[in-house]
């Protein structure tokens, strides 16, 4: 999500200056590839501005050729890494891996009616999700379905209704991310807001947690009961700093969408008040810093049910080793990442081996 923030900010600056750019978007992959559908990269005629669509093997080639390739508008390019020959791909370029990547290139012009960066901006700035549906065959086209039902598209009339129906299915959490409409293939991408993380506590050990979260592009809020100018400076990279005591501050801090939450105030009574309110609210992740015995005592004192106890990660974080604040923060961030993506966090080698067995 961080790179999407950078792309949105860069395009805003370029557009304000009246400059054009090229947006490269991975729309489809096959086999083993470094990046998957949804990865984006922004370039101007002279430089690589933001984002990435591979581990580095495609970017320089795109920088050299994307500008003249998009002089007429959109173009779809396929990089095929399954072959080691020099002419294995449409641009005479080999990847050296086992997969292939379809990259949509499109020229961005200030004030364009269907701005492909707009869904990214809406997700980040207004926290509004959308579905972007792209026709890959024949005359390339796109439809953007907002969460409020708004529709923008430049599709032929014969494709608009079936593509819109498929986009609606995807927006409701169903549907396929790749569909066929007659003779053409359509890929659908859910553009969702960044993960919201709320950190209760502003002690020294909260600093690396907030820093890592911001680096990942998460929408990060820090909550501290005692407001101070020094705290505002200390967490200047956070998206929001909220002051107040539990449980009064919960409504203000959590917002309307279920966030990930980490409680690390180092104050027993504050943790108890926070935990009592948090176990009653929906969260995507709920972690509590402190030893197991302390957590069990807090559960007993607030009368937590077995289901509520199971929701709380306490002690918080994965068992990665290390006890420094940065070590603990890394363990927490890794557990949040695994939880929100529905992963059990095994070694990647073990997961791939089990899938191939």
Residues 6+ apart with CB under 8 A from 327: 320, 321
Give the pLDDT confidence score for residue 81 in this predicted structure.
67
Q: pLDDT per position in the chain (357 positions), as tens?
A: 788 999 999 999 999 999 999 999 998 888 878 888 889 999 998 888 899 988 777 888 888 889 989 988 888 988 886 554 444 444 444 455 567 888 999 999 999 989 999 999 999 989 999 999 999 876 788 999 999 999 999 999 989 999 999 999 999 987 778 888 888 889 999 999 999 999 999 999 999 999 999 999 999 999 988 767 777 788 999 999 998 887 788 888 888 889 999 999 999 999 999 999 999 999 999 999 999 999 999 999 999 999 999 999 999 999 999 989 999 999 999 999 999 999 988 887 776 554 444
Q: Report pLDDT for 239.
A: 92
Token reading at 298: 């807090």
- Main-chain phi, psi angles of 43, to 5 degrees: -130, 155
The gap from C-alpha 258 to its chain's centroid, in whole angstroms, comes to 15
Sequence-ordered strand ranges (E) for 119-212: 130-135, 141-146, 151-153, 178-181, 184-191, 196-200
What's the burial of 240, exposed, middle or buried (CB within 10 Å: 0-12/13-18/19+)?
middle
Alpha carbons 223 and 273: distance in angstroms, whole number: 14
**Domain 196-340 homologous superfamily, CATH:** NAD(P)-binding Rossmann-like Domain (3.40.50.720)
Of 277, 119, 286, nearest to 189 by C-alpha is 119
CATH 3.40.50.720 range(s) for the chain read: 196-340
What pLDDT was estimated at residue 37?
Answer: 86
């Amino acid at each position: 999500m961080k790179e999407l923030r950078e792309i949105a900010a860069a395009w805003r600056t370029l557009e304000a200056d009246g400059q054009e750019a090229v947006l490269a978007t991975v729309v489809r992959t096959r086999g083993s590839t470094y990046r998957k559908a949804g990865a984006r990269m922004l370039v101007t005629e002279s430089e690589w501005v933001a984002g990435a669509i591979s581990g580095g093997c495609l970017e320089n080639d795109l920088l050299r050729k994307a500008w003249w390739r998009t002089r007429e508008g959109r173009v779809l390019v396929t990089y095929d890494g399954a072959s080691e020959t020099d002419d294995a791909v449409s641009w005479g370029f080999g990847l050296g891996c086992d997969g292939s990547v379809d990259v949509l290139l499109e020229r961005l012009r200030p004030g364009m009616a269907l701005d492909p960066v707009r869904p990214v901006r809406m997700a980040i700035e207004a926290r509004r999700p959308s579905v972007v549906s792209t026709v890959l065959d024949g005359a390339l086209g796109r439809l953007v379905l907002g969460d409020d039902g708004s529709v923008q598209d430049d599709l032929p009339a014969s494709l608009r209704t079936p593509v819109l129906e498929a986009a609606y299915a995807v927006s409701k959490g169903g549907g396929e991310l790749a569909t066929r409409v007659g003779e053409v293939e359509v890929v659908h991408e859910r553009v969702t807001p960044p993960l919201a993380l709320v950190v209760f506590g502003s002690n020294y050990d909260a600093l690396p947690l907030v820093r890592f979260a911001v680096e990942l592009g998460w929408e990060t809020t820090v909550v501290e009961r005692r407001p101070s100018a020094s705290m505002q400076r200390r967490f200047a990279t956070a998206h929001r700093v909220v002051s107040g005591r539990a449980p009064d501050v919960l409504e203000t801090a959590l917002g309307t969408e279920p966030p990930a939450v980490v409680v690390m105030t180092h104050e027993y009574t504050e943790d108890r008040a926070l935990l009592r309110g948090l176990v009653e609210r929906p969260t995507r992740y709920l972690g509590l810093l402190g030893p197991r015995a302390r957590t069990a005592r807090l559960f007993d004192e607030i009368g937590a049910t077995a289901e509520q106890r199971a929701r709380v990660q306490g002690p918080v974080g994965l068992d990665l080793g290390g006890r420094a604040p940065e070590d603990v923060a890394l363990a927490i961030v890794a557990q949040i990442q695994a939880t929100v993506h529905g992963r059990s966090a095994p070694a990647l080698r073990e997961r791939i081996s089990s899938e191939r067995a």
